[in-house]
Chain A
């Protein structure tokens, strides 16, 4: 009787653990991203296109892998540049606070920059993730996934560029949106 209970308990635990393992493994699968891309784009390749893709695929995978690394390094550099700018702005904000001058515009700018940096990080991570997935497909058996991944990466690159432009624009607009008011306040 006791053995039966223990066996039931073990069975219950195994039943619980199986979906955990399956769920944990299935989430980051890059294959599923590309399969979904093929399905979403309803992509079919003609025999000629397929041959052309298979022929170029391996060389392009190395190229795309390099592009992914280069893009990741560039994003890191951007985040570093914007991060140091935020540090500068925070230092100004502290100095202004010490002398009793309102620097809330700087606070607002920092908040917007942090939001834009998060957006840049996410879009960059998505884009480089797709490039890496494309760089590791089976060229012979998955030419559709390769092409669909490139199309998907193009859309994600567009989003990445938008995020990068957004944060740059914040700083281009900073003189009129932020600094001029503070200069006026300090000059008054």
Chain B
């Protein structure tokens, strides 16, 4: 029995063995890759990438990146930023009441 196996191994063509090893290695790389592509982690990565692209400095032409900064420029920007923050309302936009049992008309837990 043991001798038969050895004979079979000896009979295996080296090229076939190498090709088999390559195919199996390829599959082993492919398994996690396909799983990653189908995972929610990949979806999140894509969303983060979009967010990064939004935040990435696309400073070509639309922003002044050359003139010297004065203290007054920073102070003015503070005011602009403050104004910009008035458009943000976390409590209203992400309101817990939106999905409370009472709002949804569900029985209390």
Bound Cα distance A125, B88 (Å): 19
A22, chain B: closest CB distance, angstroms: 10
Question: Inside 8 A of A83's CB, which chain B residues have their CB?
Answer: 51, 54-56
Known: A24-B38, A183-B71. A91 touches B48 (CB 8 A): no
The reply to whether the CB of B59 lies closer than 8 angstroms to some CB of chain A is yes
Q: Once the chains bind, are B34 and A82 in contact (CB under 8 Å)?
A: no
B10, chain A: closest CB distance, angstroms: 13
The reply to whether the CB of A39 lies closer than 8 angstroms to some CB of chain B is no
Chain B residues 66-100 with CB under 8 Å of chain A are 66-71, 73-75, 77-78, 81, 84-85, 87-88, 90-91, 93-94, 96, 98-100
The reply to whether the CB of A186 lies closer than 8 angstroms to some CB of chain B is yes
Bound Cα distance A95, B16 (Å): 63
Number of B residues, CB within 8 Å of A: 59
Q: Once the chains bind, are B39 and A28 in contact (CB under 8 Å)?
A: yes
Q: Once the chains bind, are A150 and B38 in contact (CB under 8 Å)?
A: no
A72, chain B: closest CB distance, angstroms: 10
Question: Inside 8 A of B50's CB, which chain A residues have their CB?
Answer: 79
Q: Once the chains bind, are A60 and B74 in contact (CB under 8 Å)?
A: no
Which residues of B approach A to under 8 Å, CB–CB?
Answer: 16, 20, 23-24, 27, 30-31, 34-35, 37-40, 43-44, 47-48, 50-52, 54-59, 63-71, 73-75, 77-78, 81, 84-85, 87-88, 90-91, 93-94, 96, 98-101, 104-107, 109
Q: Once the chains bind, are A90 and B57 in contact (CB under 8 Å)?
A: yes
A121 partner, pick from B47, B56, B68, B73, beta carbons under 8 A: B47
Question: Inside 8 A of B58's CB, which chain A residues have their CB?
Answer: 87
**Majority SS of interface residues in chain B?**
helix
Known: A24-B38, A87-B57, A118-B51. A179 touches B88 (CB 8 A): no
Can you name 16 extra interface pairs (CB under 8 A) apart from A24-B38, A71-B94? A17-B27, A20-B34, A24-B34, A28-B39, A28-B43, A60-B104, A88-B77, A91-B63, A95-B68, A125-B43, A153-B99, A154-B100, A157-B96, A161-B94, A168-B85, A171-B85
